[in-house]
Amino acid sequence: MGLQVIPLKLAIFGPPGSGKGTYSSRLERELNVEHISTGKLLRESIERKDETGKRVKGYLESGELVPDSIVNNMVKRKLKEIDMDGFILDGYPRTVDQAEFLLDLVDLDAVVFLKIHEEIIVKKLLGRRVCEKCGKNYNISDIHKEKDGVGYELPPLTPDKDMECDSCGGDVIERHDDTERTIRKRIQDYNERKKPLKDFFDNRTETVEVWSDSIPSVVTEKIVEKLRKFH
């Protein structure tokens, strides 16, 4: 069912826990585009201890946004570097300044906005578990709920053996930043950023909205379906 016609230039936007990273990885394969996560690029810089890494370390540790100029330059460099015509930006742009910079640089085909109710995010993130060795994600929450006409079907995704990673055998644990207080703070930060960005993109490019209400394969399929008209 892959779409290989014209590589799309995309950005994906959504609250914490909406599955941006998961869907971006799947869309990378489905649509033959490069997945570019600014969070990942920044973490790699910090690990390499390069100039950017040294400047951004404190921001990532405190959960603050890195200054626009640093992220913008990093994305500009990355877009020049990739050997694919299509890409999906995950975690960027996060501010209107970044969005303006991006649209001066490239013509985006569409921005995907993921939607999910706050109480579902909280439940989902409280159930998140991660392998401490390889980082693989699991989830122990089991959500079947109808809310405002949206039918959530999010079954648990647990390792075969009790809290032992299927891929590497590492211990599957809770993330220390997944407490209810930090989750609500991250949602609030997102809500404040969302409106100006959504308004900006609604005026400047195509946007599609998709409910993150099911397992990754189903939601990815819905996104691909909505993007079909841009090929």
Q: List residues binding ligand AMP (CB under 6 A).
A: 38-39, 42, 59-60, 63-66, 71, 91-94, 98
Torsion on CA atoms 50, 52, 57, 58, rounded to nearest 10 = 140
**Count of C-beta atoms within a 10 Å radius of residue 14:** 21
The residue of the chain with the least Cβ separation from ligand AMP equals 39
Q: How far is the CB of 149 from ligand AMP (least distance, A)?
A: 29
Q: How far is the CB of 98 from ligand AMP (least distance, A)?
A: 6
Q: How far is the CB of 56 from ligand AMP (least distance, A)?
A: 7
Q: How far is the CB of 43 from ligand AMP (least distance, A)?
A: 7
Q: How far is the CB of 36 from ligand AMP (least distance, A)?
A: 10
Nearer to ligand AMP, 12 or 110 (CB): 12
Nearer to ligand AMP, 38 or 52 (CB): 38
Nearer to ligand AMP, 59 or 230 (CB): 59
Nearer to ligand AMP, 37 or 139 (CB): 37
Question: What is the rounded CA–CA span in Å between residue 176 and residue 187?
Answer: 17
Nearer to ligand AMP, 60 or 163 (CB): 60
CB 88 within 8 A of CB 28: yes
Nearer to ligand AMP, 39 or 216 (CB): 39
Q: How far is the CB of 61 from ligand AMP (least distance, A)?
A: 9
